[in-house]
Structure 1
Amino acid sequence: MGNIPKMGPRNDHINDPAYDRAAVDLPGLKFLGQRQLKFLDAWARDWSGDVMKVALSQTAFCGAVHMHGGGKSRLLADLDCNGWPQSGRNRALTLLRAARATHLCGDQHLAVVVKHGIEGYRDGPMAFTSPALVNTIYGRWWWPKDEKTGGGDAINSSLPWVGDYEDGLGNKITMFAYANPEHLNMKTLREDSSRENRGDGYGIVRFNKKTGETVFECWPRFSDMNRGKSGQFLGWPIRFNVTENDGRNAVAHLKPVSLPVPNAVVELTDTKTGELIYCYRAKGETFKAPVYKNGNYTLKAGKDKPTQVLLENVPVTAK
């Protein structure tokens, strides 16, 4: 934190109108160290006994919060998150996306579901930040200053502020759901006897390994379970398929290949750089590999690890 000039009332709070987002993405700052990046790369390529992957982190890879501690404390950016340094954040998300991994985290007080953007909106994995178990001391709120719905394709939600946004660090995020405390004053919130409107509670995630469906549930701490699903916070549950954790659009496909075993693990790498493009368990006995930009690619496959070369150094020159 000492590398970043103070731009607000606290070292991690930024409200200086002259704030430059690049000022917190300095050379030498590390989001993950080389050992962690190496681990993620190896983890993404090893599917021993796995059909879906999940990544857990302490805190969120974005700053999906506008107000802190009360309705009068609006920040331009909050460094109390893992949304910076931004280049490191994007590198970590690129590896999660390669494995189609769902991201689960906490620490932000406020429950949200976002779809991360890396190069563009909605091209990264889905992420669920669970709510605080007790939220009567320091609340947080997702509350865009212009109170407008975000951009991009419309999201079917009962909540108003969903869609494509940039967080205060310039990261692209797509908001799907948020569980704001009802009152903007913490004293009023503590004194409210209903106890279901504090924004505190817990999350449940359900994974269907046969279909790939993932369900995020978010429940108030004092919810009435007799109400069933309607007892959850407004905007939940959120359903999506594991394939949606990679939102890139293919520019071309490699020729179809027969897999060495049904439902094999497939791995696509950039032949020149060795960069992992993706590695996941395919369905069926054949595979037609999507590619997302021009280059030369190598496709491997195997039962649990991609050990057999199926296509090597194949050029792609899509128009």
Structure 2
Amino acid sequence: MMTARLLAALTGLLILGIPASASPALLWTQYAQANGVLKLTAHTDADPLHPEPATARLLMKISDEWETVAEAEVEPLTAMAAFRVEDWDNRKVFSYRVLCGDSKLEGTIRAEPKAKGGVLKLAVLACIKDEFFPQTNAVQHVIDQDPDLLFFGGDQLYESNAGGEVIYTQSEADIPAAMANVLAKWRKFGLMFKELLKDRPSLIITDDHDVYADDLWGRGGIRMPGNRTTGGYNMEPKWVNLVERVQTWHLPDAAHPGPWGDGILAYYTSLNYGGVSFALLEDRKFKSAPAQVLDAPVSDPDASQMAPNMEVIEWADFDAGKLDQPGLQLLGKSQEDFVRQWANDVFKSGNLAAVLSQSPYANVGNYEPHFGDMDSNGWPQSARDRALRAIAPSKAVMLCGDIYYGTLFQNGIDDWGDGPWTFSVPGFTSNQNRRWKPSVAPQGNAIEGIEGSGNHHDRFGNKLTLVGKADGYKGYGMAFFDKGKREITLDIHLFNDARQPVPDRVPGWPRTIQVE
């Protein structure tokens, strides 16, 4: 008799159009190169509930001959083969091939762009539901931009993907079934973007939905002790590590992998690519939780009923400064120290730079104008300020997703205009339920035709200067790093409900930032 778990795994394959008997078939690849090391993962349709030994080979075309440069086992729980090639020559273009049984994938390892002169093109995508799968035209639109590098900023999958069933882990015994469940959703992402991923390096980080969390305050990688606002992860640490391995193993080696908390690993890292310095951060993993400062939701005393969510401050007259307490964390001390050292190194090198993370460092995406959302990186305020001060010497732009609609603003720390610029890209497919519509007039720098522009405070008192927003659109972003002119240009590409490009320009984009 077929078990429910086996049926779920087989159903996941059928949803993707993959014959259940074809395992392990190669589905797609993703790779990155840094510090003389190439890391490439080949993802298969192998079933974690019924693992079978399989080996994959990575071949490169050298002098018109295919040579095997690495072999790797298909991992039973991640269903991927992880290849690491040392002493990689990043100056050359290589055609590659991955073989596993009768299955084959091919692609191109690009030569790293020259460090001096020229323009490095980065595509920025986030928040990818599968309702329009396979989104061939939308993905082709990204391919047509011919980016040198890709950044996927989180929520590459949602619980609703691949039929919507979710298998949670109560113990390690549940991990194979939960991995089969999450891989069905992850495969929607990979098959959607396989033509984009196979020929260019990609930087991928996870956000809350990737690890089956509806908002996440990781508290240093602990297992959740109560409800979600107590913080921590609601899944087994081993499962969290496996999911993050699936998405991020090909990144440069982690700066401080841990384990942290209850055994959860960290992947935050950095790389220099094509003369641009990147820091990849984890906004959620070390962040403090609402229950560390609140015992109950903050409710308007004149309201007829209590506010339903502790993390959403609904009382318009509540002083949100009371929620900023000593010892609260955003990045955590170790990651703060890492960012500080990275920024100082960037300052010395003179490189253009970008910080790649999950969410903006301001509460710029609200459900209502007077609401404050502690899921945003506008809280905790002092920890937010420490992070921005650490980043500031690098003069980096901050690129992220999470809030579903496109925003472009400059963070303020002590004053408006003294912090890094942030471009939060629109969700590639996610529906919008947030907005920026301040109820207080700007304190200077308003731009005609852009509602909510100018100098503002968010609900937690953080300063920001908004110059662009794209309400009601899905899409993605592009960042152009002109090393000769020392300029970073940020642009936005939008789709309508038919997944066709929107030809009209949105006020605020493109925006060119001169890096002094």
The TM-score normalised by the length of structure 2 is 0.39
Query: Which of the numbers 30, 45, 56 marks the counterpart of 2:344?
Result: 45
- 3-state secondary structure, aligned to 1:2: helix
On the 8 A contact 1:220/1:232 being kept in 2, the answer is: no
Matches within 5 A, 1:228-267: 231-243=504-516
Aligned to 1:208: 482
Aligned to 1:83: 378
- 3-state secondary structure, aligned to 1:45: helix
Query: Which of the numbers 458, 469, 487 marks the counterpart of 1:178?
Result: 469
Change (3 A) 1:170 1:226: closer
How far, CA to CA, are the matches of 1:206 and 1:116 in structure 2? 20
Residues 43-80 of structure 1, C-alpha deviations (whole Å, 9 max, x = no match): 112248762111111111000134x2xxxx44421112
Query: Which of the numbers 161, 171, 174 marks the counterpart of 2:452?
Result: 161
Aligned to 2:387: 92
| 2:444 is the counterpart of 1:152 | yes
Pairwise CA RMSD of aligned residues?
2.2
On the 8 A contact 1:52/1:242 being kept in 2, the answer is: yes
On the 8 A contact 2:328/2:380 being kept in 1, the answer is: yes
Query: Which of the numbers 326, 335, 358 marks the counterpart of 1:58?
Result: 358
Residues 236-262 of structure 1, C-alpha deviations (whole Å, 9 max, x = no match): 11112123xxxxxxxxxxxxxxxxxxx
The one-letter amino acid of 2:471's match is N
On the 8 A contact 1:216/1:239 being kept in 2, the answer is: yes
CA displacement at 1:225 relative to structure 2: 5.4
On the 8 A contact 1:86/1:171 being kept in 2, the answer is: yes
On the 8 A contact 2:495/2:501 being kept in 1, the answer is: no
CA displacement at 1:18 relative to structure 2: 4.1
On the 8 A contact 2:408/2:508 being kept in 1, the answer is: no
Aligned to 1:3: 292
The one-letter amino acid of 1:79's match is M
4+ runs deviating over 3 angstroms = 47-50, 222-227
| 2:451 is the counterpart of 1:141 | no
CA displacement at 1:221 relative to structure 2: 2.1
Aligned to 2:109: none
Residues 131-152 of structure 1, C-alpha deviations (whole Å, 9 max, x = no match): 111243x421111225x4x222
CA displacement at 1:13 relative to structure 2: 0.9
Query: Which of the numbers 495, 500, 510 marks the counterpart of 1:221?
Result: 495
Change (3 A) 1:45 1:235: closer
- 3-state secondary structure, aligned to 1:37: helix
Change (3 A) 1:235 1:18: closer
Aligned to 1:119: 414
- 3-state secondary structure, aligned to 1:141: coil
- 3-state secondary structure, aligned to 1:46: helix
How far, CA to CA, are the matches of 2:345 and 2:502 in structure 1? 42
Identity %: 30
Matches within 5 A, 1:93-108: 93-108=388-403
CA displacement at 1:226 relative to structure 2: 9.0
On the 8 A contact 1:56/1:105 being kept in 2, the answer is: yes
- 3-state secondary structure, aligned to 1:53: strand
The one-letter amino acid of 1:10's match is N
On the 8 A contact 1:65/1:143 being kept in 2, the answer is: no
The TM-score normalised by the length of structure 1 is 0.62
Between structures 1 and 2, the one with greater helix share: 2
How far, CA to CA, are the matches of 1:92 and 1:206 in structure 2? 24
How far, CA to CA, are the matches of 1:225 and 1:143 in structure 2? 26
Aligned residue pairs: how many?
214
- 3-state secondary structure, aligned to 2:334: helix
The one-letter amino acid of 1:218's match is I
Matches within 5 A, 1:262-301: none
CA displacement at 1:153 relative to structure 2: 3.6
CA displacement at 1:92 relative to structure 2: 0.7
How far, CA to CA, are the matches of 1:82 and 1:129 in structure 2? 12
Change (3 A) 1:11 1:226: closer
| 2:330 is the counterpart of 1:35 | no
Change (3 A) 1:160 1:206: same
The one-letter amino acid of 1:4's match is V
